[in-house]
Chains A and B, each alone.
Chain A
Amino acid sequence: MSFYDLFIGPFVEFEFMQRALVGVFALSLGAGPVGAFLMLRRMSLTGDAMAHAILPGAAIGFLVSGLDLFAMTFGGLAAGLLVAVGAGVVARATELKEDASLAAFYLISLALGVLILSMKGSNVDLLHVLFGTVLGLDDPTLILVSAIATLTLVLLAFIWRPLVLECVDPAFLSSVSRAGAPGHIAFLALVVLNLVGGFHALGTLLSVGLMMLPAATARFWVRDLTPLVICATAIAFVSSVIGLLISYHWGAPSGPAIILVVGVAYAVSVIFGPAGGIVSRRWPLRHLEA
Chain B
Amino acid sequence: MTAARPQLRFHDLTLGYERHPAVHHLDGAVEEGALLAICGPNGAGKSTLLRGIIGQLRPLGGRIERGGLDARDIAYLPQGSQVDRSFPISVYDMVCMGLWRRSGLFGGIGRADRPKVAEAIAAVGLEGFEGRPIGTLSGGQMQRTLFARLLLQDARLILLDEPFTALDAKTISDLLDLVRRWHGERRTVLAVLHDFDLVRAHFPQTLLLARAPVAWGATAEALAPENLLKARRMGEAWYETADPCAA
A128–B16 alpha-carbon span in the complex (Å): 55
The answer to whether A223 and B133 touch across the interface, beta carbons within 8 angstroms, is: yes
8 Å CB interface, A132-189 against B: 158-159, 161-162, 164-165, 167-172, 174-177, 179
Chain A CB within 8 A of B88 CB:
yes
Q: How far is the CA of A68 from the CA of B95 in the complex (A)?
A: 51
Residues of A within 8 A of B247 (CB): none
Residues of B near A174 (CB, < 8 A) are 56
Q: Which of B74, B84, B105, B106 is close to A169, meaning CB atoms less than 8 Å apart?
A: B84
Say yes or no: A168 contacts B81, CB within 8 Å: no
Interface string of B53-82 (1 = CB under 8 A from A): 010100000000000000110111010011
Bound-state CA distance A224–B91 (Å) is 11
Whole-angstrom distance between the alpha carbons of A164 and B83 in the complex?
12
* A161 near B105: Cβ-Cβ < 8 Å: yes
Residue of B nearest to A179 (CB): B105
B56 touches A168 (CB 8 A): no
CB neighbours of B83 from chain A (8 A)? 168-169
Q: Say whether B97 contacts A165, CB under 8 Å.
A: yes
A45 on the interface (CB 8 Å rule)?
Answer: no
Whether, in the assembled complex, A225 has its beta carbon less than 8 Å from a beta carbon of chain B, the answer is yes
Q: Tell me if A's interface is mostly helix, strand, loop or mixed.
A: helix
**Interface centre among A159, A175, A177, A225, by most B CB within 10 Å?**
A175
Collect the chain A residues with CB atoms within 8 Å of residue B82's CB. 169-171
Closest A residue to B87 using CB positions: A168
B171 close to A (CB within 8 Å): no
Closest B residue to A168 by CB, please name it: B87
Distance between B157 CB and nearest chain A CB, rounded to angstroms: 11
Q: Closest B-chain residue to A169, C-beta based? A: B83
Q: Is B48 part of the binding interface, using a Cβ–Cβ cutoff of 8 Å? A: no
Specify which chain B residues have a CB less than 8 angstroms from the CB of A161 in the assembled complex. 100, 105-106
In this assembly, does B141 line the interface, its C-beta being within 8 Å of a C-beta of chain A? no
B234 within 8 A of A: no
With beta carbons under 8 angstroms apart, the residue of B71, B81, B88, B134 that contacts A171 is B81
- Known contacts A176-B100, A225-B89; is-contact A171 B72 (Cβ 8 Å): no
Q: How far is the CB of A177 from chain B (nearest CB, A)?
A: 7
Closest chain B residue to A178, Cβ basis: B71
Find the B residue at minimum CB distance from A166.
B84
Interface membership of A21, Cβ < 8 A: no
Minimal Cβ-Cβ distance residue in A for B107:
A161
Most chain A CB neighbours (cut-off 10 Å) among B75, B88, B90: B88
Interface residues of A in 34-76 (CB under 8 A from B): 40
Chain B residue with minimal CB distance to A222? B88
Given contacts A172-B97, A222-B88, A228-B88, 7 further A-B contacts (CB under 8 A): A158-B106, A162-B105, A167-B84, A169-B82, A171-B81, A224-B89, A224-B90
